[in-house]
Amino acid sequence: MARKIIGTKPAIERDKLINVTHFWNNSRSDVNNSANGTLWSGSFTKLKDANESWILMDGMLPGSRNYSDQCGTFAELNGADTNNDAPRYEGIYYAGVNEDPGWARFILQVHRIIKNDDSAQELAAGSRTWKVGWYPRNGGSGEKPFRVLNPNSNEDSRNQQYGSYMSIWEYRY
């Protein structure tokens, strides 16, 4: 026997895809050496407000040549809480080898769910920007996750051009 819970939308209306925007970047670039920075950013239009929809940021950024290792990588929408231990540091991870040669690869993976119970300030409707970058908790300078974003044959003659992707998924609650 099924029951309707008061205030709960019918299953056919919940968790439905509203919009998706895909980004692709296959430009090799040297990563700036600074206390904090942005690896990649873009913009999209969020169709519903914070009470109607949530966002899934899903992406992958390849890197090459070790530098700082852990340096506080983040993924956020504009308006994010930028304090230490804010949700922007959750759902983003990277791994690689602790080596500097061109063959040394890193993968920075983003799978961040942004809902209004933790990050409502990021979820306003309208034109939104997103970015992936780093900001070390200890305020250290001269940090970065790796030396090269989207490596290619400059790092190792056996390589083709690597590329990054980001998809911004908007779902109805």
- pLDDT tens for residues 152-169? 999 999 999 999 999 999
In this prediction, residue 98 carries a pLDDT of: 85
Q: Are 105 and 141 in contact (CB under 8 A)?
A: no
Going from the N-terminus, what domains does the chain have, and what CATH number goes with each?
A: 17-172 (2.60.120)
Checking if the pLDDT of 1 tops 60, the result is no
Q: How many CB atoms lie within 10 A of CB 84?
A: 12
141 falls in which pLDDT band (50, 70, 90)?
confident
Beta strands, E only, the chain: 17-25, 29-30, 37-46, 53-66, 73-77, 92-96, 105-114, 126-134, 146-149, 164-172
Checking if the pLDDT of 2 tops 60, the result is no
Phi, psi of 72 (to 5 degrees): 75, 50
Tell me the pLDDT tens digit for each residue of 94-124: 898 888 888 889 999 999 999 988 778 899 9
SS3 131: strand
Q: How many CB atoms lie within 10 A of CB 104?
A: 20
Percent of the chain, pLDDT > 90? Answer: 70
Q: Rounded distance, CA 117 to CA 131, Å? A: 21
58 falls in which pLDDT band (50, 70, 90)?
very high
15 falls in which pLDDT band (50, 70, 90)?
low
